[in-house]
Structure 1
């Protein structure tokens, strides 16, 4: 699909049937991707226009796509200050390591404990291939 003059990859069918009881959550994992990201676990049946831009990517547009740990943690801290329950972000490059989801979840629990809000439940959902993480506090 094109946004302005730039082509993007989009798969609106990706999460059909995967939501279970959580139909209130819409996964944006495959919205406005580059070819590089889409080709990690999708293969096109035919030739498509080359997609290189990240400008209209869902996570870039929302300001929650990060390459550096300190910026990600500052974003998480802002969400904690706002008493948000859902923490959704994309970790790019080296930041997308196996432990980042646990590191962020532990950080959230620690901050909430400091605020004497220690009896919380944590539910995580991730697409590690794309570096997309969702942490929900209950």
Structure 2
């Protein structure tokens, strides 16, 4: 198991000292946590350290991130006064349950076997099959549900969470089997609306990739979607913006479509693929187009597939499409 503290490494020495003292105090469930600085701690610096610590350490799920205060006395001593969602005894119980859930999943998914890419696929697929997005997880009339949906307890206990809980649970599982994974935060645009969002940056064989498991869960209806699995900064930036500087993701080597030779950069390549799949009796196609024709019109693509499926015969062929034109992926069913 690795402890991947990416955000800690981005802090200066004084901020790191505060981070360590804060972390140790929270792990001990202390009500007052003295921190090693002289003078005032600004709100900007405090928020930076707090964000770094909670993203680096998903197992600190029991702290109220919106109601944590600090105070400085007349002698210049500063202390942090956290608020906890759960008692020390409840946290111990939850920690045991989380540890058991992680160990059971690691065994069930055989996360000690295979390459890092294969482990990542198994984790991604488990989330897409088993975890649901909690659409009511921001309802302030249900505060308990809000807390659960924004941390790892929602995933491991209820298998239901919002993006923050999902991204943090992905990090816990992958870090547990020695795969570097960090939580990325920022904004994402869907249906013309920007909202705060969380996803992951995952290191596979030395190359970092952008991965949005939450959005793949949303697209996995009757199938498993890989639209946001191991993509580059350029691809994810079409819909996402980063809150902080992140590792540069420029490789597509371990992108799902690249690995499975399902990225097509010319019309002739795509036609050859569709023809081959239909000839082999497959009626579901999933691929990504890139390069010279990334904006292939839906009607044009449907007509192309129907024509190939008809095989020159005058028979009606229906084509269902689920496109994600932002990233160039298409799921098609022929019937």
Per the normalisation by structure 1, the TM-score is 0.86
Q: Is 1:122 paired with 2:319?
A: yes
Measure the CA separation in 1 of the matches of 2:279 and 2:238. 35
Q: Is 1:137 paired with 2:334?
A: yes
Measure the CA separation in 2 of the matches of 1:17 and 1:64. 21
Q: Is 1:76 paired with 2:274?
A: yes
The one-character-per-residue Cα deviations of 1:97-117 (angstroms, maximum 9, x if unpaired) are 242x43332122112222659
Please report the RMSD computed on the Cα atoms of aligned residues, expressed in angstroms. Answer: 1.9
Question: 1:70: how far off?
Answer: 0.6
Which of 194, 210, 216 in structure 2 is aligned with 1:9? 210
Structure (1 or 2) with the larger CA radius of gyration: 2
Question: 1:122: how far off?
Answer: 1.7
Measure the CA separation in 1 of the matches of 2:279 and 2:315. 15
Secondary structure, counterpart of 1:97 in structure 2: coil
Moved over 6 A (4+): none
Measure the CA separation in 2 of the matches of 1:112 and 1:65. 21
Q: Is 1:56 paired with 2:234?
A: no
For structure 2, the residue ranges without an aligned partner over 5 or more in a row are 1-201
Task: Confirm or deny: 8 A CA contact 1:112 1:118 kept in the other structure.
Answer: no
Q: Is 1:46 paired with 2:46?
A: no
Secondary structure, counterpart of 2:210 in structure 1: coil
Measure the CA separation in 2 of the matches of 1:87 and 1:102. 16
Task: Confirm or deny: 8 A CA contact 1:88 1:134 kept in the other structure.
Answer: yes
Going from structure 1 to structure 2, the CA distance change for 1:47 and 1:93 (only over 3 Å counts) comes to same
Going from structure 1 to structure 2, the CA distance change for 1:38 and 1:124 (only over 3 Å counts) comes to same
For this pair of structures, how many residues does the alignment match? 134
The one-character-per-residue Cα deviations of 1:4-61 (angstroms, maximum 9, x if unpaired) are 0111000000144455xxx321211000001000111011222210000010011111
Q: Which residue pairs with 1:65 in the alignment? A: 263
Higher helix share: 2
Going from structure 1 to structure 2, the CA distance change for 1:119 and 1:94 (only over 3 Å counts) comes to same
- Structure of higher RCO (CA pairs closer than 8 Å, 6+ residues apart): 1
Task: Confirm or deny: 8 A CA contact 2:274 2:308 kept in the other structure.
Answer: no
Secondary structure, counterpart of 2:288 in structure 1: strand
